[in-house]
């Protein structure tokens, strides 16, 4: 692992204000991974990398990361809402290399009804895709590995943004950001979810491979037509992973 950030001289745009020191909600990702019954083996982070909760001081850094790396432009509201909604706060994390923000993840909690409505819309574009995901969740329940029921269906975690600056990739930062959400936040009583899913551009082979490595079902996921307006091809692949809650 490098002792200092790789290629710092080529990234003048990264000289952003430092964040405050880690808050009590910050975690050492290895501990979080160990707490999960679904945790995959993830390489350790370099010791100077930390995964931190969003704060008033650092939340704007997520916007910077996303604007640099993602093809979708998110409105101010997308960032403002993070600190206004406890669930959004719990499902957002930033990655720091020393005191420099180098990555982040932002997810949204969807009720089962919201998720179902989304899939029904999706079905109008791909008649098989949405039902494949529904079937995966139903199978999961039938196998007894999920405590949700038809009467009390569990929430879903939608991964809206996940990005790591390119000089800091392959340090397991993306894996730890995702693992935080799946291993820790998803087990919060107020969040308790049974599925995580995301849209990935069909030509983004790196991200698709990343999600495969994180235990997501990638190749069986549906294709969502015309999801991206600014990219060619415009289609997205829907990737998903079931989340297993520990039994009480």
Binding site for ligand COA (CB under 6 A): 69, 162-164, 169-175, 198, 200, 204, 206-207, 209-210, 213
The whole-angstrom separation of Cα 100 and Cα 177 is 15
Among residues 129 and 174, whose Cβ is nearest to ligand COA? 174
The whole-angstrom separation of Cα 127 and Cα 68 is 34
Side-chain half-sphere of 185: how many Cα atoms within 13 Å? 34
Q: Least distance (Å) from ligand COA to the CB of residue 161? A: 6
- Supply the DSSP symbol for 31: H
Among residues 148 and 214, whose Cβ is nearest to ligand COA? 214
Among residues 65 and 185, whose Cβ is nearest to ligand COA? 65
Among residues 132 and 169, whose Cβ is nearest to ligand COA? 169
**Closest Cα to residue 216, out of 181, 185, 187, 164?**
181
Q: Least distance (Å) from ligand COA to the CB of residue 215? A: 11
Among residues 58 and 161, whose Cβ is nearest to ligand COA? 161
Side-chain half-sphere of 41: how many Cα atoms within 13 Å? 0
Q: Least distance (Å) from ligand COA to the CB of residue 98? A: 16
Q: Least distance (Å) from ligand COA to the CB of residue 160? A: 8
Q: Least distance (Å) from ligand COA to the CB of residue 192? A: 23
* Dihedral in degrees, nearest 10, Cα atoms 230, 122, 86, 164: -40
Among residues 30 and 141, whose Cβ is nearest to ligand COA? 30
Q: Least distance (Å) from ligand COA to the CB of residue 210? A: 4
Q: Is the dihedral of CA 124, 231, 104, 218 positive or negative?
A: positive
Angle between helices 129-142 and 112-125 (to 10 degrees): 140
C-beta nearest to ligand COA: residue: 206
**Closest Cα to residue 78, out of 163, 201, 161, 192?**
161
The whole-angstrom separation of Cα 63 and Cα 65 is 5
């Amino acid at each position: 692992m490098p002792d200092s950030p790789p290629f710092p001289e080529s990234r003048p745009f990264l000289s952003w204000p430092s964040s405050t020191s880690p808050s009590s909600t910050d975690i050492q990702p290895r501990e979080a991974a160990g707490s999960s019954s679904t945790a995959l083996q993830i390489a350790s982070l370099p010791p100077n990398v930390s995964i931190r909760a969003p704060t008033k001081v650092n939340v704007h850094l997520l916007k910077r990361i996303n604007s640099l790396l993602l093809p979708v432009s998110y409105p101010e509201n997308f960032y403002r809402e993070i600190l206004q909604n406890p669930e959004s706060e719990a499902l957002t994390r930033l990655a720091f290399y020393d005191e420099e923000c180098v990555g982040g993840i932002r997810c949204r909690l969807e009720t089962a009804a919201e998720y179902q409505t989304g899939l029904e819309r999706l079905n109008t574009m791909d008649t098989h895709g949405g039902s494949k995901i529904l079937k995966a969740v139903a199978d999961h329940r039938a196998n007894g590995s999920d405590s949700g029921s038809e009467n009390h269906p569990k929430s879903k975690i939608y991964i809206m943004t996940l990005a790591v600056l390119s000089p800091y990739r392959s340090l397991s930062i993306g894996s730890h950001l995702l693992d935080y959400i799946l291993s820790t936040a998803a087990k919060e009583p107020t969040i308790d979810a049974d599925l995580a899913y995301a849209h990935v551009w069909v030509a983004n082979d790196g991200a698709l491979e990343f999600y495969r490595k994180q235990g997501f079902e990638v190749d069986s996921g549906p294709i969502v037509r015309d999801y991206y307006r600014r990219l060619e091809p415009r289609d997205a692949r829907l990737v998903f992973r079931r989340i297993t809650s520990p039994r009480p």
